[in-house]
Structure 1
């Protein structure tokens, strides 16, 4: 059995849906999962055999076989909204308002909204699923934030999909006829 890591952004871009029992053929960018330690933790990373990619020109390595299990990997995150004042002319102004051609002056700043997302340690979870749907819809789905920024909380805790672990029973190589 071979466990392959799939990232949501790559699968949203170029992946096709599949289910347990389907035959798959994955291009493998690496068989060294150490790049996942920060994402998944050392223990879970130790179960990964290969990292799938859709964005390589030629794959030196492939995993082909039957899907026997699919696990969605998720974790909790804290999303914090913030707003700050930005004065785009601060460096150009010596004092007071900046004078522009034709008698126009600029001195008013504007506020900018943004958000930061922080991982919550120790919240990574595997959930068995029947397959991988059309990921573009799932990955770029509705935001967890409210539509009205005035009513939206400044801090919200939610679960975020990190990727999938797919267990594959590899097909034996076809015999070569000389």
Structure 2
């Protein structure tokens, strides 16, 4: 029987050890948490079978699940950023000579706030977790361009186990 578990990239990066297809593992999982429900909904359109639960090291009520890893997938999701100008105390001033001064105004990069775009998750097969090569290029917004921007980033992994 196969079971699929989602783990957030930040969480595995904090407390997980490297995983590879073929490894025998013990995962700390939750089946019916709010987190599991949110991830089931987010990944329903990209998984052939429902997500069994979530792997988490930062919560209570976890169950140890043993099995052999038969597949690993990176989960790529979009983030919507809003970049706003950031003011500086003193705009850069350049002397042009003969007492002439030019002010270049606010040249500081902006500040960005990002929110996940629901329903944009997609899977990319990987050989290991974590896998730095899974991170798409350009995951951060361009702080010199003000307004809305959409970028893709690695949000986590789906671990598929073959369980006895």
Q: What is the TM-score with the length of structure 1 in the denominator? A: 0.62
C-alpha RMSD of matched pairs (Å): 3.4
**Contact 2:85 2:109 (8 Å CA) reproduced:** yes
Choose from 139, 146, 153 the match for 2:145.
Answer: 153
CA distance in 1, matches of 2:61, 2:39: 22
Structure 1 counterpart SS, 2:80: strand
Conserved? CA contact 1:12–1:134, under 8 Å:
no
Pairing 1:51–2:54 present: yes
For residue 36 of structure 1, give the secondary structure of its aligned residue in structure 2: helix
Which of the two has higher C-alpha Rg?
A: 1
Match of 1:31 in 2: 31
Determine helix, strand or coil for the equivalent of 2:50. Answer: coil
1:15-35 per-position Cα deviation (integer Å, ceiling 9, x unaligned): 11111011110111x212313
Q: Is the 8 A contact 1:16 1:134 kept in 2?
A: no
Distance (Å, rounded) in 1 between the aligned partners of 2:17 and 2:26: 11
Gaps of 5+ in 1: 86-110, 173-178
Residue-by-residue CA offset, 1:64-83 (whole Å, 9 max, x unaligned):
11100011111222322113
Name 1:14's counterpart in structure 2.
Answer: 15
5+ residue gaps, structure 2, are 88-107
Distance in 1 separating the partners of 2:6 and 2:79: 21
**Pairs aligned (count):** 138
Q: Post-superposition shift, 1:119? A: 3.7
**Distance in structure 1 (CA, Å) of the matches to 2:39 and 2:76:** 14
User: Which of the residues 123, 126, 130 maps onto 2:120?
Assistant: 123
Give a deviation string over 1:109-135, Cα, whole Å, max 9, x none. xx9952122444543211111120277
CA displacement 1:3-55 (0-9 Å, x = unmatched): 11111121111111111011110111x212313256x1554587110211113
Compared with structure 1, are the counterparts of its residues 57 and 76 closer, same or farther at alpha carbon in structure 2 (3 Å cutoff)? closer
Q: Which runs of 4+ in 1 moved over 4 A?
A: none
